[in-house]
Amino acid sequence: MTLNEAKQKLAEFEKTQFALSHSMGLMYYDGATIAPKGSADVRALTLGEMSRISYNLTTSPETVEMLETLVSHKDELDAITSRKVSELYLNYDRMRRIPVQEYVAYQALLTKGDAVWHEAKEKSDFALFEPYLQKIFDSSKQIALYIEPDKKPYDTMLDLFERGLDTKRCDEFFVPLRKKLVPLINKVKENAGKVDDTPLYQTFPVEIQRKFSNFLMDILDLDRNHCIIGETEHPFTTSFSKNDVRITTHYYENMLVSSLYSVVHEGGHALYEQHIGDDIALSQLGNGVSMAIHESQSRFYENVIGRSREFGAVIFPWLKKEFSPRLDSVTEEEFYKIVNKSAPSLIRTEADELTYSLHIMVRYELERRMFEGELTAKDLPGEWNRLYREYLGIDVPNDKTGVLQDSHWSNGNIGYFPSYAIGSAYAAQFLEVMKKDIDVAKEVKSGKLTNINKWFEERIWKYGRLYDPGVLFEMVCGRFDPDAYISYLEKKYSEVYEL
Amino acid sequence: MTLNEAKQKLAEFEKTQFALSHSMGLMYYDGATIAPKGSADVRALTLGEMSRISYNLTTSPETVEMLETLVSHKDELDAITSRKVSELYLNYDRMRRIPVQEYVAYQALLTKGDAVWHEAKEKSDFALFEPYLQKIFDSSKQIALYIEPDKKPYDTMLDLFERGLDTKRCDEFFVPLRKKLVPLINKVKENAGKVDDTPLYQTFPVEIQRKFSNFLMDILDLDRNHCIIGETEHPFTTSFSKNDVRITTHYYENMLVSSLYSVVHEGGHALYEQHIGDDIALSQLGNGVSMAIHESQSRFYENVIGRSREFGAVIFPWLKKEFSPRLDSVTEEEFYKIVNKSAPSLIRTEADELTYSLHIMVRYELERRMFEGELTAKDLPGEWNRLYREYLGIDVPNDKTGVLQDSHWSNGNIGYFPSYAIGSAYAAQFLEVMKKDIDVAKEVKSGKLTNINKWFEERIWKYGRLYDPGVLFEMVCGRFDPDAYISYLEKKYSEVYEL
């Protein structure tokens, strides 16, 4: 195969892979949003079959020859093609180690497992999900061992979501973080009475909350011609391409902040995906580069911006008017404090910024110990509840609000959680750097985040997967410094709670 | 290849084809319902690519060898496998005559064309759609010529939707039908004052109409665990398998009957798809057999049942109560007459039973003349309007309610329309036969159509595509007799209008 033939093949290969992942992504999205309840089994068959087609394409002799031809001409390739080739080769190298039947069975297991998880969560019935969960952990571990037989399988999983991450780096981040956060959390606890959030626990009609979501998406400056919002049990973002990005939320009539911050969080993910550079948009490089970078964006928008005084000033008048008279007696300053109220709680996605990473540590520890064989699925509810007591000091009343709350495990996303905490720490460091370039507070106050978006677009978003996540982060922020995160939290909460 | 190997290959082939058509079906559905407006171009790329994969699979040497092996052992195959093989062979034989690039380009054209049609209809701007429409007609004609070089291409199109149908049979059906209907339509026109439908043109809140759709779907006894309802500009039904059937409707606040009868119509399609036999459900035979048989079911439920006195008795109390006080002054008998009011009108999907087939004849004539080269796309609005004046005696005020009203052409469904009229005629004949077995009026009055569904399930639905449509129809009704349809219409409208 000549170099030109190989380049031609690469273009065709990318087109096909794009179509397959677009189709599978849509099927997953449909299953999570509107599909009839009884359709999961057939969807699992189709997804299994589609991933078999994708697997066969990735590992076909023709693809391998194409890749090897391109690798042998590496020096003659432009930067984008070169990156594509090394990413594809890495992916191929992983895929070929996994027996096709096991790979297909695993995809089908996840589709089925996800449907069972939905039902189990609804009924708060862990026993229903337990056998699937065990199988998902077993299969993930087996797949990790196929990919890297000589590496701890949980390290392989971490690396899949965040290249370069392992348990050692996680421990280096989490152990001191926990040590420094716990005294601060305790001080906040002692001052809990200073923030009264009862005004937000009235009845807020879902119809108005839906209107509010549109208002928020306008502030974020999301391109609505290429982004829709749907409703799911567990909010998520999916991007089929920059032209078709979808976020979801969940409305609770008696919990206004839940959909508020899930929309801003998922909106951050969506902004990233909408601003991938056109030169790589429909290629293998046309998505966010890693989970931690992705979460750094979503949590930047959710917390650094969304929970700022300036953002409150933009949205509070709208809320006050549309939900009148419910918030008539609340001041803007009180609203700011309410959305920053910190208290140990049960649900990760609704946790405040301060206690959030403790939720992550629980999941990290359980995943690690499942992979090390110390735990089986049936131990998880008990261990979950024990760790929530130990880390956060609270009792878990049922599995729906405990071990069944997140969709990650049912989707096979084991090793994903730590990237949320790392992303939060990245976000704090991004803020420090951004402040040197633009007046962040002023931009937020303007009611349109266009210039903040531009800052990220130029530095992060447009590059897609062109650089390794660690490299990209350092290009913008220099060395990763968790202390920036700790300082950010200390400053914010000392002020909110007047410590 | 041995017979056993070929059987094994057939099973694999069916699995893959099922997954591909499931994926493409979902993508089409998503595009027509909730997808972001700006996503059509990328969806077109993906659908083009997926149809290329499907084309390659259908025409691959391995598939051909499998088919030829099975064909050469035809006598040793069971009835189901034998039918699958002959259907697949026919499909392969058609596909291989179409150059792959043209096939892929055609699929992409349709996806793009559909998006443009949506916009053109919204803006009532035919010029926007015209170049796409011309290309769609040209490409369809070219594809028909590839499939059957020696046959009139429009006859090939008719046969694709209804095996055995051609212009000769259409003319034999339409010409006398028009002759007999016109005097009846004229008599009804003279008596127009006898039915006053103004009570149905009040404001009926969409929220309550949505509730009403659920009520209707319960009466139809649709399995809601495997069927959802969505909203689109133009109502349709899609079935990914009997486990996942989706109907859509369109709510107009000032036109209650529109969504009422689109839900019952699409519900008829959905019932058919939900009751395909389990033995063939996920195979090539697992769908309704033809458009005319499909429309015979949807129009049976819509008109024969949905516009019966007994059905009115079931739904009218609900409407009266939920929409109170809007219908307080209307009696049940008046309601029955209102929903059967006949008057020449602009929109096919909202036409009454009596004038309906004239709408079809307009489209049939235009399609035929487009294919014969007598017309080009730019002539269509003018010719459309002329024929509406000639056949129905009404003036078309704009293209939105004229030539742009239907989605069929933008989807490449040229040759589809005649099957609606044939289906309506089939429906009248089904009623005659059904009455010999069950008390149809009593079943409808019971408020649950279970036994009527069972009658169809045993005779039509469970067979899927196991028999040719003409054969299947004759198995149940004997020879096709359009006079049954004419008698049905004469009897009904003489009674409604007291002629």
Helix then strand then coil, in percent of chain B rounded to 5, is 70, 5, 25
Instruction: Give me the sign of the Cα torsion angle B134, B135, B140, B141.
Output: positive
Q: In A327-449, where does DSSP find H-type helix? A: 332-339, 353-371, 380-387, 418-437, 440-445
Angstrom distance (rounded) from CA A5 to CA B444? 66
**Tell me, what's the pLDDT at A103?**
87
Q: Which of B19, B225, B227 sits opposite A50 (nearest CB)?
A: B19
Q: Tens digit of pLDDT for each residue in A414-437?
A: 999 999 999 999 999 999 999 999
**Tell me, what's the pLDDT at B282?**
93
List chain A residues with CB under 8 Å of B49: 15-16, 18-19
Rounded to 5 degrees, φ, ψ at A132 are -70, -40
Q: Which of B36, B243, B282 sits opposite A38 (nearest CB)?
A: B243
Q: Tens digit of pLDDT for each residue in A184-198?
A: 999 999 999 999 999
Confidence check: pLDDT of B241 > 90 = yes
- Partnered with residue A249 across adjacent β-strands are A231
Q: In what order do the strands lie in the sheet with A237-241?
A: A227-231, A244-249, A237-241
List chain B residues with CB under 8 Å of A19: 45-46, 49-50, 53
pLDDT band at B100 (very low <50, low <70, confident <90, very high): confident
Q: What is the DSSP letter of B252?
A: B
Contact assignment for B38 to A226 by CB distance below 8 Å = yes
Q: Which of A16, A39, A226 sits opposite B49 (nearest CB)?
A: A16
Angstrom distance (rounded) from CA A288 to CA A464? 5
**Tell me, what's the pLDDT at A267?**
98
Q: Are B334 and B327 in contact (CB under 8 A)?
A: no
Angstrom distance (rounded) from CA B333 to CA B194? 12
Q: Tens digit of pLDDT for each residue in B311-347?
A: 999 999 999 999 999 999 999 999 999 999 999 999 9
Cβ-based neighbour number of residue A93 at 10 Å? 12
Candidates A18, A29, A42, partner chain B, best to mutate (most B CBs within 10 A): A42
Q: Is A418 left (phi over 0), alpha (psi -120 to 50) or beta?
A: alpha
Contact assignment for A225 to B37 by CB distance below 8 Å = yes
Structure tokens at B106: 């055609």
Looking at chain A, the number of H-run helices and the number of E-run strands are 20, 3
Contact assignment for A19 to B241 by CB distance below 8 Å = no
Query: Minimal CA–CA distance to B431: which of B463, B450, B456?
Result: B456
Contact assignment for A45 to B15 by CB distance below 8 Å = yes
Angstrom distance (rounded) from CA A404 to CA A120? 8
Q: How far, in whole angstroms, is CA A419 from its chain's centroid?
A: 8
Q: Considering only CB atoms, which residues of chain B are within 8 Å of chain A?
A: 15-16, 18-19, 22-24, 26-27, 30, 34-39, 41-43, 45-46, 49-50, 53, 223-228, 230, 240-241, 243-246, 282
- Partnered with residue B469 across adjacent β-strands are none
Rounded to 5 degrees, φ, ψ at B131 are -60, -35
Residue A130, min C-alpha distance to chain B (Å): 24
Contact assignment for A27 to B26 by CB distance below 8 Å = yes
List chain A residues with CB under 8 Å of B36: 224-228, 243-246
List chain B residues with CB under 8 Å of A46: 18-19, 22-23
Rounded to 5 degrees, φ, ψ at B256 are -65, -40
Angstrom distance (rounded) from CA B113 to CA A429? 48
Amino acid at B220: L
Query: Minimal CA–CA distance to B401: which of B449, B351, B465?
Result: B351
Q: Are B408 and B362 in contact (CB under 8 A)?
A: no
> Looking at the predicted complex, does its ipTM rise above 0.90?
no
Q: Which of A16, A36, A244 sits opposite B225 (nearest CB)?
A: A36
List chain A residues with CB under 8 Å of B55: none
User: Residue A241: enclosing H or E segment and its boundaries?
Assistant: strand A237-241
Q: Where are the beta strands (DSSP E) in B159-270?
A: 227-231, 237-241, 244-249
Give the number of A-B residue pairs with CB atoms closer than 8 Å.
115
Confidence check: pLDDT of A107 > 90 = no
Q: Tens digit of pLDDT for each residue in A233-285?
A: 889 999 999 999 999 999 999 989 999 999 999 999 999 999 999 999 999 99
Q: Are B208 and A15 in contact (CB under 8 A)?
A: no
Q: What chain A residue is nearest to B281 in terms of C-alpha separation?
A: A42
Q: Considering only CB atoms, which residues of chain A are within 8 Å of chain B?
A: 15-16, 18-19, 22-24, 26-27, 30, 34-39, 41-43, 45-46, 49-50, 53, 223-228, 230, 240-241, 243-246, 282
Angstrom distance (rounded) from CA A387 to CA A234? 23
Contact assignment for A19 to B50 by CB distance below 8 Å = yes
List chain A residues with CB under 8 Å of B50: 19, 23
Contact assignment for A240 to B42 by CB distance below 8 Å = yes
Contact assignment for B38 to A230 by CB distance below 8 Å = no
Q: Is B345 exposed, middle or buried (0-12, 13-18, 19+ CB in 10 A)?
A: middle
Give me the catalytic one of B130, B162, B266, B367.
B266
Q: Tens digit of pLDDT for each residue in B198-220?
A: 998 899 999 999 999 999 999 99
Q: Are B416 and B367 in contact (CB under 8 A)?
A: no
Is the omega angle on the peptide bond into residue B325 within 30 degrees of 0, that is, cis? Answer: yes
Catalytic residue status for A172: no
pLDDT band at B107 (very low <50, low <70, confident <90, very high): confident
Give me the catalytic one of A231, A233, A253, A266.
A266
What is the rounded (10 degree) CA torsion for A231, A236, A241, A245? 40
Angstrom distance (rounded) from CA B137 to CA B145? 12
Cβ-based neighbour number of residue B149 at 10 Å? 10
Q: Which of A34, A53, A241 sits opposite B42 (nearest CB)?
A: A241
Contact assignment for A45 to B245 by CB distance below 8 Å = no
For A171-186, what is the mean pLDDT? Answer: 93
Q: Is B305 exposed, middle or buried (0-12, 13-18, 19+ CB in 10 A)?
A: buried
Angstrom distance (rounded) from CA B437 to CA B418? 29
Q: Is A30 exposed, middle or buried (0-12, 13-18, 19+ CB in 10 A)?
A: buried
Q: How far, in whole angstroms, is CA A151 from its chain's centroid?
A: 25
Distance set, CA B310 to CA B201, B307, B426 (Å): 23, 8, 21
Angstrom distance (rounded) from CA A94 to CA A60? 14
For B129-154, what is the mean pLDDT? Answer: 97
Instruction: Give me the sign of the Cα torsion angle A404, A407, A411, A415.
Output: negative
Confidence check: pLDDT of A492 > 90 = yes
pLDDT band at A146 (very low <50, low <70, confident <90, very high): very high
Q: Are B359 and B405 in contact (CB under 8 A)?
A: no
Q: Tens digit of pLDDT for each residue in B243-296?
A: 999 999 999 999 899 999 999 999 999 999 999 999 999 999 999 999 999 999
- Partnered with residue A476 across adjacent β-strands are none
List chain A residues with CB under 8 Å of B225: 36-38
Q: What chain A residue is nearest to B228 in terms of C-alpha separation?
A: A36
Q: Is B373 left (phi over 0), alpha (psi -120 to 50) or beta?
A: left
Rg (CA), chain B: 23
C-beta pairs of B380-389 under 8 Å, 24+ apart in sequence: B380/B126, B380/B133, B381/B126, B387/B362, B388/B346, B388/B362
